[in-house]
């Protein structure tokens, strides 16, 4: 008996020891280097605008003749980007795809502002009037649209055979009702642009605009979820947990915080391939989303086959997948840019433009890209990256966008009122931002500017951003819209910040006038955009450093990756080679 106990004790100890040792071995063998991602230029992916039905854009106002606006994805060696309208699907229809995502949807109500995860999970079930890819609208529920002569009314027409997964027909009255629900429940910002939405017939409706349309606002008008009033009223809880949409998928199972299971409805209303964008295909019958909050856990789940594809893969896990035949790593340029924003409040030292310029010239964006993002991305030459529509190509060659120059920084510092005070750099607690902040601290120190870092979790960080005396320099992730001017408007307009000036307290009426003038469709000419660009550089209110890469991992049986407007993988639109 005693012997047995001893043996059991030893076995237990050995088992525990083995677990520790094996774990250590794996950890140490794990790659530390993350530089192996293939580098390629932005904008190589094929633009699919030619595949779009011509009548969709027929009546659109003239777009600015500047900027590429091409899809910024960087396509890997063996996996292709699916065109926006891929035509009839010729690949294999797969039965099940398991996808790892990082967060929960929370609320399924179509009119509530959601998280990025919500956008991911809701796609395929709820639909918009139209999708915006490459600065061009593609039809979804809305067959066509046109503008009135004065540019203050948009006339829209729906397809006349739309129905939701419960069989309720969708009409123009549902569009007007959904619009009003969006305005009432807040969040999409559509109410800023549109005065009202009126149904003028069974399938025709009008948007009455508050003012002439700005660049990039049309797709925002089209980007709100539309559901049938009948389904909404039939829902026992206003679709908070029982969603019904017009998309090709329906929710069949939801375990809060754990799993979301979709099934193809099998009776999707749109059958004409020329109108089905990659967001609305159903090339897989069942999509299971697994909510895995830990990045390392998602990587492990991919490796052990529990999930097939993953939206967010950490840099340190990439090499595992790149070196394996079982996966394909799909790198694409992110929508996000790292912005360095000096606090321009009059009470702050950084209200002095010379100090702001000294700070910007002291920071090397190349070093940030190399050190923080392992070289994966691009250095910005303007507030937005070069792939944004409206970006002028000549900016890439310019040398006036705060190219790293310590001598120039010292020169501006000498001209400034800076006298050895310590500046507070406010940032989020994410690894990217804290690493960037540390690097910036060392750059500033090199030119004689003292600084300290204040890293806060996201909600507190956003709260601190609004208080002028809490920080001197803020790091911020700013998401680029498709349009350069819309991005500038979002970052710099006081209408957007809902303050007296920009979100970083720059009160400048001339800037506001310039922005408000240039963002109008009719004024968005290269000359006016150039003026705005020069004004921004001269006043140095914000400094956009890098536009980095993001990575998606898909299995080898995916030959084409389909991405949504928000660059999220759309499993239903991917091309599969195995059932």
415/496 with CB nearer another protein: 496
27/346 with CB nearer another protein: 27
Calpha distance 51→297 (Å, rounded)? 39
Say how many C-beta atoms besides its own lie within 10 A of residue 25's C-beta.
Answer: 10
Cβ atoms of 542 and 339 within 8 Å: the answer is yes
Q: Which phi-psi region, left, alpha or beta, contains residue 43 (left: φ > 0; alpha: ψ -120 to 50)?
A: left
CA 572 to chain centre: 19
Residue with tokens 């009314």: 153
Residue 93 is a binding residue for another protein (CB under 8 A):
no
Candidates 238-246, 310-318, 380-388, 404-412 — which segment interacts with another protein by CB under 8 A?
238-246
Q: Which of 65, 498, 509, 510 binds another protein (CB under 8 A)?
A: 498
Question: What is the token pair recorded at 199?
Answer: 């149904």
Q: Which of 45, 63, 99, 112 binds another protein (CB under 8 A)?
A: 112
Q: What is the contact mask toward another protein in residues 12 to 41, using x (rule: CB under 8 A)?
A: -x--x-xxx-xxx-xx--------------
Q: What is the contact mask toward another protein in residues 303 to 342, using x (rule: CB under 8 A)?
A: xx-x------------------------------------
Candidates 35-43, 250-258, 333-341, 514-522 — which segment interacts with another protein by CB under 8 A?
250-258
Q: Is 56 helix (H, G, I), strand (E, B) or coil?
A: helix
292/549 with CB nearer another protein: 292
Cβ neighbors of 357 (< 8 A, separation 6 or more) are 402, 408, 409, 412, 540
106/526 with CB nearer another protein: 106
Question: What is the token pair recorded at 432?
Answer: 């990217």
| Number of residues counted as binding another protein (CB under 8 A) | 57
What is the per-residue burial (b if ≥16 Cβ within 10 Å, else e) of 322-342?
Answer: beeeebbbbbbbbbbbbbbbb
Q: How far is the CB of 459 from another protein (least distance, A)?
A: 4
Q: How far is the CB of 271 from another protein (least distance, A)?
A: 34
Residue 235 is a binding residue for another protein (CB under 8 A):
no
Please, where are the H alpha helices in 132-284? 172-185, 217-222, 229-234
Q: Which of 77, 88, 459, 509 binds another protein (CB under 8 A)?
A: 459
| Torsions phi, psi for 241 (to 5 deg) | -130, -5
Q: Which of 326, 446, 462, 527 binds another protein (CB under 8 A)?
A: 462
26/419 with CB nearer another protein: 26
Beta-strand ranges (E) seen in 152-294 are: 153-158, 194-199, 204-209, 249-255, 259-264, 284-291
Q: How far is the CB of 71 from another protein (least distance, A)?
A: 24
Residue 297 is a binding residue for another protein (CB under 8 A):
yes
Residue 434 is a binding residue for another protein (CB under 8 A):
no
194/447 with CB nearer another protein: 194
Residue with tokens 């080898």: 556
Q: What is the contact mask toward another protein in residues 182 to 201, using x (rule: CB under 8 A)?
A: ----xxxx-xx---------
Q: Is 120 helix (H, G, I), strand (E, B) or coil?
A: helix
Q: How far is the CB of 146 from another protein (least distance, A)?
A: 26
Calpha distance 134→73 (Å, rounded)? 11
265 burial via Cβ count (<10 Å: 0-12, 13-18, 19+):
buried
Q: Which of 268, 275, 464, 517 binds another protein (CB under 8 A)?
A: 464
Residue 58 is a binding residue for another protein (CB under 8 A):
no
Cα dist. 432→87, 437, 441, 468 in Å? 39, 9, 14, 24
439: nearest Cα among 457, 429, 453, 455: 453
Q: How far is the CB of 127 from another protein (least distance, A)?
A: 20
Give me the residues that bind another protein (CB under 8 A), please: 5-6, 9-10, 13, 16, 18-20, 22-24, 26-27, 104, 106-107, 109, 112-113, 186-189, 191-192, 237-238, 240-241, 255-259, 290-294, 296-297, 300-301, 303-304, 306, 456-460, 462-464, 496, 498
């Amino acid at each position: 008996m005693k012997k047995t106990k001893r043996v059991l004790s030893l076995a237990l100890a050995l088992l525990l020891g083995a677990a520790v040792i094996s774990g250590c071995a794996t950890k140490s063998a794990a790659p530390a280097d993350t530089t192996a991602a293939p580098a390629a230029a932005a904008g190589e992916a094929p633009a699919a605008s030619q595949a779009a039905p011509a009548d969709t854009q027929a009546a659109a106002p003239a777009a600015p003749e500047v900027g590429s606006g091409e899809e910024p994805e960087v396509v890997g060696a063996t996996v292709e980007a699916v065109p926006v309208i891929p035509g009839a699907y010729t690949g294999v229809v797969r039965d099940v795809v398991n996808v790892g995502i990082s967060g929960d949807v929370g609320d399924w109500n179509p009119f509530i502002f959601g998280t990025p995860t919500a956008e991911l999970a809701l796609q395929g079930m709820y639909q918009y009037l139209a999708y915006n890819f490459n600065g061009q609208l593609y039809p979804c529920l809305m067959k066509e649209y046109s503008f009135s002569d004065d540019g203050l009314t948009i006339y829209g027409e729906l397809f006349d055979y739309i129905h939701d997964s419960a069989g309720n027909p969708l009409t123009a009255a549902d569009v007007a009702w959904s619009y009003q629900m969006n305005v009432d429940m807040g969040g999409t910002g559509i109410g800023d642009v549109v005065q009202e939405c009126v149904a003028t017939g069974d399938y025709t409706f009008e948007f009455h605009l508050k003012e002439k349309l700005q660049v990039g606002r049309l797709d925002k008008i089209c980007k709100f979820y539309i559901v049938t009033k009948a389904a909404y009223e039939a829902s026992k809880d206003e679709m908070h947990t029982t969603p019904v949409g017009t998309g090709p998928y329906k929710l069949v199972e939801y375990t809060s915080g754990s799993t979301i299971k979709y099934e193809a409805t099998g009776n999707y209303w749109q059958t004409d391939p020329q109108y089905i964008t990659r967001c609305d295909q159903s090339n897989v019958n069942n999509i299971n989303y697994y909510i895995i909050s830990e990045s390392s856990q998602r990587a492990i789940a991919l490796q052990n086959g529990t999930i097939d594809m993953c939206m967010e893969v950490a840099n340190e896990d990439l090499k595992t997948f790149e070196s394996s035949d079982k996966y394909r790593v799909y790198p694409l340029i992110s929508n996000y840019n790292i912005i360095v924003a000096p606090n321009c409040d009059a009470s702050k030292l950084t209200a002095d433009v010379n100090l702001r310029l000294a700070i910007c010239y002291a920071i090397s964006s190349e070093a940030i890209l190399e050190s923080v993002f392992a070289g994966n991305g691009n250095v910005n030459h303007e507030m937005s990256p070069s792939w944004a529509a409206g970006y002028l190509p000549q900016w890439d060659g310019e040398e006036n966008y705060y190219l790293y120059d310590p001598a120039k920084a010292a020169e501006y510092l000498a001209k400034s009122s800076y006298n050895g005070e310590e500046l507070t750099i406010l940032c989020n607690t994410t690894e990217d931002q804290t690493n960037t902040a540390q690097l910036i601290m060392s750059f500033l120190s090199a030119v004689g500017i003292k600084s300290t870092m204040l890293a806060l979790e996201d909600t507190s960080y956003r709260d601190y951003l609004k208080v002028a005396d809490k920080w001197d320099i803020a790091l911020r992730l700013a998401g680029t819209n498709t349009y350069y001017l819309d991005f500038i408007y979002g970052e710099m307009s006081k209408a957007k910040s809902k303050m007296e000036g920009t979100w970083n307290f720059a009160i400048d009426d001339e800037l506001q006038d310039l922005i408000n003038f240039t963002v109008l469709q009719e004024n968005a000419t290269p000359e006016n955009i150039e003026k705005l660009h020069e004004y921004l550089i001269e006043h140095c209110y914000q400094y956009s450093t890098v536009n980095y890469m993001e990575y998606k991992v898909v299995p080898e049986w995916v030959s084409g990756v389909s991405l949504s407007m928000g660059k999220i993988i759309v499993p239903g639109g991917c091309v599969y080679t195995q059932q």
